[in-house]
Amino acid sequence: MKTDKDTGPHSFSMPAWISCAPFEQLLSMEIVKAERGEAVLEMPFYRELAQGAGLMHGGALVSLADTAVVMAIKSVLRPGTHFATIAMEIRFLYPVKKGILLAKAILVERKGAIIKGSCDIHDEAGRTVMTFTSVFKIASDATIKDIRFENTSTRRRDEDSQDLR
């Protein structure tokens, strides 16, 4: 495959620690809330997110859930902390045919560098269409490099907080 686009590594800036990165912007995600280990995100089902049968692509749903848990985690960590998904489990319950989805994520547990979270995705009727659980690990080199956050005025989070649900 040939491409005219830059294939990385990439450097860029984001408006704030808790904000949508380029991929999340591509999927039209919006952060409704991210605080105290909880996050709520919305994402519309546009035609570009459909799979071959006209339903929302499962990868788009997983991206929404993963991002919601990430925002819940960011709400309790020091800005710039480097962490990544290391495991996930997904249960698709109903197909998504239209509308705006709502993802509700919470942190479940933190033990040292390991953080567990969960997320339910709801359709416009309030029906849970997918459940998601994930495990994240804070990197040993815990500072993100090559990404700048324009608004770092967010109050410092206590990294050692055990006040996670």
How sure is the predictor about 155, in pLDDT bands with cuts at 50, 70 and 90?
very low
pTM of this structure: 0.86
Q: Which residue reads 């339903």 in tokens?
A: 55
- 106 Cα distance to chain centroid: 11
How do residues 108-149 score in pLDDT, each as one tens digit? Answer: 999 999 999 999 999 999 999 999 999 999 998 766 676 778
The distance in angstroms from the start CA to the end CA of the chain is: 45
How sure is the predictor about 154, in pLDDT bands with cuts at 50, 70 and 90?
very low
Length of the chain: 165
**Cα–Cα distance, 85 to 134 (Å, whole number):** 7
**Cα–Cα distance, 90 to 69 (Å, whole number):** 13
**Cα–Cα distance, 141 to 146 (Å, whole number):** 13
